Structure 1
């Protein structure tokens, strides 16, 4: 069955499946996660799992959307209009760095690229429910901060995209091509702080 099948999103068993799958996918990514392990972690039978998600890709994208929405929700609590820009950017940078350092982010990228021709709407839906939310939220903050005179941002949407790219530097490509299995914590901190320094140097007042 194609990955565009509508999923019945209700019930305790459904919640168990998503919670168990989230733990497995976050730890192992799409490729490393087996349906047997997800069923065990969720405490359900494989038949129950397949009744909700007949394709592992369906389950993964549901988990990926939920995880991105969760992270976007966390970011919303950090992006407060009255907070100093550097504090907002440091918190956001570390969250972005951690995401791109995870097996989940690699699997999202690989799956969306692999299925882009057959199921283009899958990648678009994921982008709308995750990265686009975070981008628009940061752009709104940049717009407000510029109006208050504490930043100088001509194009808030472009600047928000640039910030995310700075936070990927030296992280995502090394993980994607298997140069590094996991980027050490001190390196993640360095990348996040450097991204903020560069961003403030360009857009700070």
Structure 2
């Protein structure tokens, strides 16, 4: 096929290996606009540039597509974070990398849509809820916990339980992402740029788990 013919070919013919990802991304858009109940596979297929029948090659029904979307899309980010953590860097540097990259992710429109769907729809799928907790937030907390564990061993961080620290760091970062998405309605966020919030988060997190200063010794005069 010539380059011009390839460029004009439908997406599902040009990029067959990317069909599931295209469908999942389109599903996020349509579910985000209409919710699970009102969303139609026809609309998702149209947004993805595939036929409705193509969706059934990968997902047996709308609910299965929704469940895979909830698990797959955030898992892409986590896999990227795992791959980009610099080997040989200090734990402080790795924590900075994690916070900055994840902050960029939680400030994307796709994260905002996904978060809204998790709150509004996930209670319909109890088994999915447990899988999601294990595969997404718990996985993120373990990445952070591993960084903290290395920092404790190297003396960069104080002696703190790694997974507990990972849970706290994860929570602080993500709740600020949620607040930033609604900053016009939140007085203490309204005048802060994303970069300012990120700088505050990095500073807070590094100091929260950093080595505590040695207590001052008072001199005794005799």
Question: When the two structures are superposed, what TM-score results if normalisation uses the length of structure 2?
Answer: 0.68
Distance 2:152 2:30 in 1: 39
Aligned to 2:21: 19
Aligned to 2:31: 30
* 1:166–1:29 CA distance, 2 compared to 1 (3 A): farther
Out of 177, 195, 205, the residue aligned to residue 201 of structure 2 is: 195
State how 1:46-65 maps to structure 2 within 5 Å: 46-50=52-56, 52-65=58-71
Distance 2:31 2:184 in 1: 15
Aligned-pair CA distance for 1:157: 1.2
Aligned to 2:220: none
Aligned-pair CA distance for 1:199: 1.2
Q: How many equivalent pairs are there?
A: 190
Unaligned runs of 5+ in 2: 1-13, 212-222
Deviations 1:16-61 (A, max 9, x none): 44221344356x3732276445323544211331454354443233
Distance 2:74 2:176 in 1: 22
Q: Which has the larger radius of gyration?
A: 2
In the alignment, structure 1 residue 85 sits paired with structure 2 residue 72:
no
Aligned to 1:3: none
In the alignment, structure 1 residue 118 sits paired with structure 2 residue 124:
yes
Out of 150, 157, 160, the residue aligned to residue 154 of structure 1 is: 160
Aligned-pair CA distance for 1:142: 0.8
RMSD: 3.4
Unaligned runs of 5+ in 1: 1-11
Maintained 8 Å contact 1:13/1:44: no
Maintained 8 Å contact 1:72/1:130: yes
Maintained 8 Å contact 1:79/1:138: no
* 1:44–1:13 CA distance, 2 compared to 1 (3 A): farther
Question: When the two structures are superposed, what TM-score results if normalisation uses the length of structure 1?
Answer: 0.73
Higher helix proportion: 2
In the alignment, structure 1 residue 171 sits paired with structure 2 residue 172:
no
